[in-house]
Amino acid sequence: MLAFKDTQLALIHIPLHLYSSFLQSILQLLLPNEALDQHPAFHGHGAVQPPPAWPNQNPFVNISVTPIECSVVCSRRLADELFLPALNSLDPSSRSQVSITNDDYVVMQVDGEGLDAGQRVLELTSPLALAGISIFFITTYFSDYILVPIRYRTQVVHALEERGFQFEDQTSSYVNPSHHSRQHSASQTFEVRPPGTPPPATVSELQTRTFATLKRCNIVPTVDSCLRLVQCAGRRDSANGMNEGRNRNSQTSAADDALHLGLVKCLISSPYPKFLSLTLTDTEPASLLLDHTLLPNFTQDILLGSKEEYLIPITLDLRDLSMESTGIICGVAGRLVGGTAGQLINPVEMSYLSTARAGTVMVFEDELKRALGALRGAENGLSPTPD
């Protein structure tokens, strides 16, 4: 099932060397304004008290710090209230390096069950790429999220319906039919095409275009051998918060409080966390993708998920591409799904994180060489060995 969330989102790109200038704004996404002045990040003492509704106070928030950038997705209102003042306080040269999208985005939530992750990315992104719609894709512990420009919402519905997805209610959700019952192939073209270069007619053509574009812009998959990521999520107490672990002066649980403290510790890492992606929604527990060296910031029983299965990030620096570029995610997913499968082997398992100016593919350590071999194919003539 996929559901639209009631959101008008802005995407914010912050260069890493300006991270500290926006740290207070980032923390304010986690803390109510009136609590920030009492926060130990600024005073070195005192208890951390998250807001009563944390972490479900907003329909959708993503804060990601990667080797390329700090990227924030939040409501337009919060972008204007929290980030514009910090942006306007910068000198003109620094200000020009930060971007807040003028266009609003809407987010769709996709249940993470059914197809394997790589196939799911391809199934959801290919009809939108073939329709010429630019998207962002975020894999979390529980679900996948697709961000699309709000002006293309109708085209998104049409493109997915043309592929066989059935919408229960165009304002809320659709049901994903079983794979074998779909009547449309991945190579089908679509009538809806936003202005610009005509979209490719097939996924194969899209994949070729994608890697030709990456090669032309000298964008190559890179690996930081020091990064080992863990995908995990916050625990939620049962019985609707009426258990004994609840703070007397807060509606959040003890588990929420501990998770909140750990997140703040990660965010105030100097000069910035090595790798952290935090997704908060109003329907699911907090989801995290973080470098394993940040795990000591959390007590052992706070996080769901394996702490010993490491994911390796493969990064595509997309700062030289327009944010309106289409097909990158589908092209990369198609190469990994189709380029690593054989008669006796399964395709590489992958997940994907879109940030404002970069794309990050996550694969397991033992599949890194195979994944790089597919991504660094004949088009760019690069070696399939890690950097």
Average pLDDT over residues 45-60: 62
Which is nearest to 260 in space by CA: 63, 22, 54?
A: 54
For residue 60, give both structure tokens.
């959708």
The pLDDT value given to residue 303: 92
Give the confidence band of 3 by pLDDT, cuts at 50, 70, 90: confident
Which is nearest to 174 in space by CA: 115, 114, 110?
A: 110
H/E element, 2? strand 2-4
**Residue 265's CB: how many other CB atoms inside 10 A?**
17
For 349-368, give the DSSP string.
PEEEEEETTEEEEEEEGGGH
For residue 20, give both structure tokens.
């500290």
The pLDDT value given to residue 46: 43
CA 177 to chain centre: 24
Tell me the C-alpha to C-alpha distance, in Å, between residue 299 and each of 110, 196, 302, 331, 362: 30, 50, 6, 39, 25
CA 241 to chain centre: 28
Which is nearest to 49 in space by CA: 260, 226, 357, 225?
A: 260
d(C-alpha 148, C-alpha 127), whole Å: 13
Instruction: Name the DSSP class of 18.
Output: G
H/E element, 259? helix 254-267
The pTM score is 0.82
Average pLDDT over residues 58-82: 96
Give the confidence band of 103 by pLDDT, cuts at 50, 70, 90: very high
CA 109 to chain centre: 12
For residue 283, give both structure tokens.
């329907």
The pLDDT value given to residue 182: 29
Average pLDDT over residues 54-67: 86
pLDDT digits (tens, 9 = 90+) for 84-97: 999 999 999 999 99
For residue 197, give both structure tokens.
């270069």
H/E element, 168? strand 166-169
> Is the pLDDT reported for residue 35 higher than 50?
no
The pLDDT value given to residue 378: 37
The pLDDT value given to residue 51: 56
d(C-alpha 333, C-alpha 146), whole Å: 14
The pLDDT value given to residue 161: 79
> Is the pLDDT reported for residue 102 higher than 60?
yes
The pLDDT value given to residue 119: 74
Residue 239 exposed, middle or buried by CB count within 10 Å (0-12, 13-18, 19+): exposed
The pLDDT value given to residue 237: 56
d(C-alpha 170, C-alpha 173), whole Å: 6
> Is the pLDDT reported for residue 240 higher than 70?
no
pLDDT digits (tens, 9 = 90+) for 328-338: 888 888 888 77
pLDDT digits (tens, 9 = 90+) for 131-179: 888 899 999 998 889 999 999 988 988 888 787 766 545 444 444 443 3
Radius of gyration of the chain (CA): 21
Tell me the C-alpha to C-alpha distance, in Å, between residue 97 and each of 28, 68, 94, 376: 22, 13, 5, 30
